[in-house]
Amino acid sequence: MARELHDHWFKEAKREGYRSRAIYKLSEIDRKRHLIRTGDAVLDCGCAPGSWMEYAAQRTGPDGSVVGIDLLEMVPLPGRNVHVLLGDLRDIGDEELLAPAGLGGTRRFDVMLSDMAPNTTGHRDTDHHRSMALCELVLMRSGSLLRPGGHLVMKAFEGGNFQELVQRIQDCFEDVKAMRPAASRSVSREMFIVAMDRRADAELTLPPPPSGGPPPVPDDWSRGS
């Protein structure tokens, strides 16, 4: 495990001065799916320690804007178009998230990102269901935060309900793929759902929980590294 934690991607992030190896996951997804464009407004859900925001700020350029939200405080990122909000995605309203990017009214984010994961318990099914609850939260919030035609990326732990989640997202977006970037650790069960071109008529609401269903959205989560 010690060798795994200090692998090629960890060393590359240190060498290039990025905050975590997770930047290479997003860069691969973007390279393959053409996710982020110059001038885009991007929302990063669960942004600490900030490497996805670093990448998004590079890609959007000075005419774009990047807003991040996290439960944890983080060292501020440079740039007048980069904004971090401290708080819970369940509690912060749409306008508070949209305002730092100069959005509001009918203007919404072009891209939503989520590398959020539950703080793991070590119990495979529990961790999977907690991950699904976070994904459902992000999907629901995208209904009012993401413009029609916008793109969504979220991390999910594989398990029994993973394909059901993918199918729900396929009902809302034109093109949906599950990806496992090369920078993901070999021991990790993480997958990234990449959803392109949100449909204007998408029904983005939380489904009713199944009988004896998964735990509610966890109060604690962390970023993968």
Residues known to be catalytic? 155
Number of H helices, E strands in the chain: 7, 9
* pLDDT tens digit at each of 225 positions of the chain: 444 445 765 677 666 666 677 888 999 999 999 999 999 999 999 999 999 999 999 999 999 999 999 999 998 898 889 999 999 999 999 999 999 999 999 999 999 999 998 877 778 888 899 999 999 999 999 999 999 999 999 999 999 899 999 999 999 999 999 999 988 877 778 999 999 999 998 876 655 544 444 455 666 555 444
- Residues 6 or more apart whose Cβ sits within 8 Å of residue 78: none
Angstrom distance (rounded) from CA 46 to CA 154: 10
What's the CA dihedral at 131, 172, 32, 23 to 10 degrees? -40
Tell me 215's DSSP state: P
pLDDT score, position 14? 67
Domain coordinates in residue numbering, the chain: 24-199
Angstrom distance (rounded) from CA 117 to CA 72: 13
69, 44 in Cβ contact below 8 A?
Answer: yes
> What element of type H or E holds 111?
strand 109-114
What tokens were used for 143? 């209904």
Angstrom distance (rounded) from CA 183 to CA 181: 5
Class of domain 24-199: alpha beta
